[in-house]
Structure 1
Amino acid sequence: MSRIRITKQFSFETGHALYGYDGKCKNVHGHSYKLSVTVIGKPINDASNAKFGMVIDFSDLKTIVKDEIVDVFDHATVFNKNTPHVELAKELKDRGHSVLLVDYQPTSEMMVIDFAEKIKKHLPETIQLHSLKLQETDTSFAEWYASDN
């Protein structure tokens, strides 16, 4: 049977700042991110299986991505924990804000790498993550492909 790619799209709002950057993005700002998750596998060929004909149930993929990414990053502010932004992060947390401290510069490029690792851990063995596209504006995005990694 043929291998098929399926894609599910997600959106979330996240703030960030790029410490040490030489442009406007050094300031705290936010994006309306759009994440496209594409997986690849063979449709289930067992007619007695409730998921017959599916590579993965879209709702199962949605659960993985929402639990690992959307619900964590939505309306949070992300800072690299190895920068002086930790002081700002502490202040925001103390005031009840959702703050994430990560081990990387929170660029779209680094976020999409992080997201790929998080998603891959939860996919069934028969399904592979094919690609991710993280769009931070209408004209700017980062892509991750399994074939490149």
Structure 2
Amino acid sequence: MSKIRITKQFTFETGHALYGYDGKCRNVHGHSYKLGVTVIGEPITDLEHVKLGMVIDFGDLKKIVKSEIVDQFDHATVFNKNTPHLELAKELKSRGHHVILVDYQPTSENMVIDFAAKISRHLPEHIKLHSLKLQETETSFAEWYASDNN
């Protein structure tokens, strides 16, 4: 049987700040992120299986990514938990804002590594995460490939 890759795309709005950065992104700002999630597997061949012909139901993939990434990061502000932005984070939280503290600098590169780990944990055993593409702007994105991380 052939291996097939399928991709589902997602969008979410997230704010962040890059502590210690020497450009404008040291300031709190936001992006309309686009996330492409590609998985690889073999289509189901069991004639009795309700998902016959599918690698994974797009709806099942959507549930995983929505729960682990979109619902968590959409309209949140992300800060590195080891930076002075903690005071700002506490203030925002006290005013009812959704703040995520991570143990990394919240660049697209680091976010896509985090997302790969979160998504992979929830995929069925016979499905593997192939790649992620996290687009921060129309012209800038970070990509993660399983083949680069073996």
Task: Please tell me the TM-score bracket, short chain as reference.
Answer: over 0.9
1:81 and 1:106 map into 2 onto residues whose CA distance is: 10
What is the CA-CA distance between 1:141 and the residue it aligns to?
A: 0.1
- % same residue: 83
1:103 aligned partner? 103
CA RMSD between the two structures = 0.3
Q: Which amino acid aligns with 1:14?
A: T
Question: Per the alignment, in what secondary structure is the counterpart of residue 39 of structure 2?
Answer: strand
2:146 aligned partner? 146
1:38 aligned partner? 38
Q: Which amino acid aligns with 1:112?
A: V
What is the CA-CA distance between 1:90 and the residue it aligns to?
A: 0.2
Q: TM-score, normalised by structure 2?
A: 0.99
2:49 aligned partner? 49
- For residues 34-90 of structure 1, what are the alpha-carbon distances to aligned partners after superposition, in whole Å with 9 as ceiling and x for unaligned? 000000000000010000000000000000000000000000000000001011000
- For residues 71-126 of structure 1, what are the alpha-carbon distances to aligned partners after superposition, in whole Å with 9 as ceiling and x for unaligned? 00000000000001011000000000000000000000000000000000000110
1:26 and 1:84 map into 2 onto residues whose CA distance is: 12
Q: TM-score, normalised by structure 1?
A: 1.00
Within-5 A mapping of 1:3-14: 3-14=3-14
Could you list the structure 1 runs, at least 4 aligned residues long, displaced by more than 3 angstroms after superposition.
Answer: none
1:111 and 1:104 map into 2 onto residues whose CA distance is: 8
Question: Per the alignment, in what secondary structure is the counterpart of residue 65 of structure 2?
Answer: helix
Unpaired segments of 5 or more residues in structure 1?
A: none
Question: Per the alignment, in what secondary structure is the counterpart of residue 22 of structure 1?
Answer: coil
What is the CA-CA distance between 1:29 and the residue it aligns to?
A: 0.1
